Structure 1
Amino acid sequence: MPFIRVTVSDPDLSPTRRQALAEGLTDLAVSALGKSAARTTVHVNPVPAEHFFIAGRPVLDATGAHVEASITAGTNSADERARFISGAYALLRETLGVLPPVAGVALYELHPESYGYNGVTQLDHYRSAPQTAKAKAEAVG
């Protein structure tokens, strides 16, 4: 159940670009991390350019951008996380154009007891989910 925030230093970010970021990041959560599109939330947060700083100076000659994604700890390999980070950066460049030299992507891995949705922790969702035939066979014997 990823929650993805993308902050962009463009308060006039067009609806088309917002939609492209939301769809692209959702698709990436599915393809790179194996997450469910139906449970992926993307929050696009456009901010004024003068509110986005690198090295203490506002980013005015490029579109500043930063992606943060919260995922459940232990559910993805290092390679999957690397694919998400690489893909998210490529999406930012494709959608926003010129980026500053420091356009970041961060994955926050949250413990399943400390993260959830609809008032239920991820751990409890996992406990209540039907097991696959393989998992049942492994648990039995």
Structure 2
Amino acid sequence: MPHIRATVTGQDLPAATARALAEGLTGLAVTALGKSAERTVVHLGLVPADRYYVGGKPLTDGGRDAHLEVSITAGTNSAAEKAAFITEAAALLSELLGPLARGGVALHELHPESYGYQGVTQFDHYRRN
């Protein structure tokens, strides 16, 4: 049950780009991490460039940046799977958004007893299935 939070600079993101980003990140969760598409959430958040800082300076030169934070259940993916997701997600961001100032991807592994979906912990979900 990954929850993918994508922070993207800019005042607007065309609907087609937002859709492609959500679909692409969901697809990567499935192919690189072996997750269920139906249980994957993508949250796109836009931040004005003057409120996003790289190197201590606001990104006001018209450039774009994006940062992904992905919550996954600890112990469900290998180092190679996580590395593949990071590499492919960075490529997807650049492909859809153009050159990025930094383009970060962070995977947060949460203990299955501390992470859940619809009131059921991942620990119980995996035990039942």
TM-score by length of 2: 0.96
Cα deviation for residue 60 of structure 1 reads: 2.6
Cα deviation for residue 51 of structure 1 reads: 1.1
Q: Describe the superposition over 1:37-64 as per-residue Cα deviations: whole angstroms up to 9, x where unpaired.
A: 0000000101111111011111133211
Q: Distance in 2 between the 1:59 and 1:87 partners?
A: 24
> Which 10-residue stretch deviates more, 60-69 or 75-84?
60-69
* Partner residue, 1:113: 113
* Partner residue, 2:46: 46
**Counterpart code for 2:88:** G
Cα deviation for residue 10 of structure 1 reads: 1.3
Q: Which has the larger radius of gyration?
A: 1
Q: Which runs of 5+ in 1 are unaligned?
A: 130-141
1:76 is paired with a residue whose SS is coil
2:32 is paired with a residue whose SS is helix
Aligned residues: 128
Q: Distance in 1 between the 2:35 and 2:25 partners?
A: 11
Q: Distance in 2 between the 1:19 and 1:71 partners?
A: 22
Q: Distance in 2 between the 1:98 and 1:10 partners?
A: 13
1:33 is paired with a residue whose SS is coil
> Which 10-residue stretch deviates more, 59-68 or 117-126?
59-68
**Percent identity (aligned):** 62
* Partner residue, 1:10: 10
Cα deviation for residue 12 of structure 1 reads: 0.9
* Partner residue, 1:91: 92
Q: Distance in 2 between the 1:21 and 1:90 partners?
A: 11
2:13 is paired with a residue whose SS is coil
Runs of 4+ in 1 over 3 A off after TM superposition: none
TM-score by length of 1: 0.88
Matches within 5 A, 1:1-141: 1-61=1-61, 62-100=63-101, 102-129=102-129
Q: Which runs of 5+ in 2 are unaligned?
A: none
**Counterpart code for 1:64:** D
